[in-house]
A and B are shown apart, each in its own frame.
Chain A
Amino acid sequence: MNRKANIRQVLLNAPYTLWAAIFVVVPLLFVAYYAFTDSGGNFTLENLSNLSRYANVFKKSLLYSVIATIITLFIAYPFAYFMSKRSANVQRVQMMLVMLPMWMNLLIRTYSWTLILERNGIINNFLELFGIEPLKLIGTPGAVILGMIYNYLPYMILPIYTVLSKIDVSILEAAEDLGCNSFNKFRRVVLPLSISGVVSGIVMVFVPSVSTFYISQKLGSESEWLIGDNIEYLIKSTTDGMNVAAALSLVLMIIILASMAIMNRFADSSDGGMIV
């Protein structure tokens, strides 16, 4: 029986173990391998030391995605909060309306903004009616950040809404009973209880933002190129850029791991930290 159980266990685990090893773990090792070798396969630190050329790109990527994440949070939180207060049926419809744009492909969502922001797009046409000179909207850092906010806003709304809607009404009543006014109730009860949703929302917005390449290409100009664009360019448009692209990917991965570790620590300490 015990041996049979062991055989069954092996049969269940073997396919996934093999699959995950070959197609999840090994590829990550290949990123490291390519980052530390030249195109001939010899060990080198050149790829990584050359990354100083990309310092500005990293700074820009971080800056844009942090700004986008913060703005997204400030739009999503009140939105989710108001939504959680509505009746069940309204919540259901609202939820559907949040999901719909999310289910549209990223490319379509991003591309649709060009119609509005273009040199002869909706906004500039509208301004022209009043004789105002057309503005340069597309190809600016603002447009890139807007694209990030637009694309990932639902990813911030959903986790926050989920935790907010799960807060037990009796907990809120208890807070009122113990003398909290609306502000205190929010600060001391609702906010601390929703931190887990905020943290996962931040991760879900920040990670794709900092690694994007399509948004910055469509809505930005070449000077708004981010890490993702450079990786894409090196891989798709050069013949010998694989190793540098791998080095860029490696550093990007480290940045994301580090920021997630920070967020997780923040989430862990939030129980005590936020209530003060």
Chain B
Amino acid sequence: MKTFGKLFTFLVYLFLYAPLLVMIIFSFNEAASTSVFTGFSLHWYGELLNKRQIGEALQNTLILASLSSITATLIGTLAALGIYHMKKKAVVKAYMTVTNIPMMNPDIITGVSLMLLFVFVGKTLGMQDSLGFGTLLIAHITFNIPYVILNVLPKLRQTDPHLLEAALDLGCTPVKAFIKVVLPAISSGIVSGLIMAFTLSLDDFVISYYTTGSDFQTLPTLIYSITKKPVKPYIYALFSIIFFVILLMLVLMNVMQAKSDRKNARKNS
């Protein structure tokens, strides 16, 4: 059973990584071929650097992800506080249902539905092409907010409700009490909501594809249009770089996580 388990695990990982490894290998191929490896070369990476289009798209993606995740964190944190203080269960349930819609709906529906709204409003206002950076930003904020709420709300619920009262009791005004006591208690939830929103925004293709215009490309929408035609291996160089960036981030996160786990373990002992 044990050896079977290990073999099975290995095979699944092979399945998960084989295509990515093939891609990385051929990004170092001398020739343009993706079937025969003729020799090691960084030539495609050099070519990648010359693609201004890609640099621009990367910049767009980062700007979009930053703006949308920060805005979503602001709105989402306020919303989580509002929901936390709601007294009627039915109202809370209604809010949570609406919050769940962008998460449960397939991306294509979220994208198409927002596009229909934007196009309709654009037409009503007599605009030629209403889709662009603005609509894209709105779309990203929309699908990011729920993740912020779902990260902050549990932190609020875990926080001792008497903490706020204790601060009031000791002379803080409600706003001061919130900043000095509640905010530190939920800050980890806010930060993880922000990070999650940022990465989701970086990664999103489907919703972006329907809500952006031709003048604003993100990295994923650019990749889509490049891979529609037969491609040159410089795109594999791009994919490989993305792979290694994610790998680096994951390793860093794990090291940090392991450190804090060990710290907690020592604290408890």
Please give the residue numbers on chain A whose beta carbons come within 8 Å of chain B beta carbons, in ascending order: 8-9, 11-13, 15-16, 19-20, 23-28, 30-31, 33-34, 75, 78-79, 82-83, 85, 92-94, 96-101, 103-109, 111-113, 115-116, 118, 120-122, 125, 150, 153-154, 203, 207-208, 210-211, 213-214, 218, 228, 231-232, 235, 242, 245-246, 249, 252-253, 256, 260
Contacts and interface: CB of A to CB of B under 8 A. Distances in A.
Nearest to A83: B9
Nearest to A208: B106
Contact of B117 (A9, A11, A30, A260): A30
Contact of A116 (B18, B81, B139): B18
A30 B34 contact: no
Nearest to B210: A235
B164 interface: no
B82 A9 contact: yes
A154 B110 CA distance: 23
Which 8 residue pairs are nearest across A and B when measured between Cβ atoms?
A16-B79, A211-B106, A27-B113, A12-B82, A112-B19, A13-B82, A82-B5, A30-B116
Contact of B112 (A9, A93, A245): A245
B257 A92 contact: yes
Interface stretch (B20-28, B45-53, B62-70): B20-28
Contacts of B120: 30
Interface in B182-219: 199, 203, 205-206, 210, 219
A242 B116 CA distance: 8
B108 A13 contact: no
Given A13-B82, A207-B104, A249 B112 contact: yes
Interface of B: 5-6, 8-9, 12-13, 15-20, 22-23, 26, 34-36, 74-76, 78-79, 81-83, 85-86, 95, 98-99, 101-102, 104-110, 112-117, 119-120, 138-139, 141-142, 145, 149, 174, 199, 203, 205-206, 210, 219-220, 223-224, 227, 239, 242-243, 246-247, 250-251, 254, 257-258
B112 A231 contact: yes
Given A79-B9, A153-B12, 6 more contacts: A16-B82, A97-B16, A99-B250, A111-B239, A232-B108, A242-B116
Nearest to B249: A103
A141 B247 CA distance: 32
Secondary structure of the B contact surface, majority rule: helix
B109 A252 contact: yes
B239 A108 contact: yes
Contacts of A125: 35-36
B113 A30 contact: yes
Nearest to B110: A27
B239 A112 contact: yes
15 contacts: A9-B82, A19-B145, A24-B142, A27-B117, A31-B109, A33-B116, A78-B5, A78-B8, A94-B9, A108-B23, A108-B239, A122-B35, A211-B109, A214-B205, A260-B104
B145 A16 contact: yes
Contacts of B6: 82
Nearest to B245: A103
A153 B13 CA distance: 11
A147 to B, nearest CB: 10
A75 B210 CA distance: 33
Nearest to A31: B113
Contacts of A260: 104
A213 B108 contact: yes
A19 B76 CA distance: 10
Contact of A211 (B98, B108, B114): B108
B108 A231 contact: yes
A23 B114 contact: yes
A103 B34 contact: no
B220 A105 contact: yes
Contacts of A121: 34-35
B112 A235 contact: yes
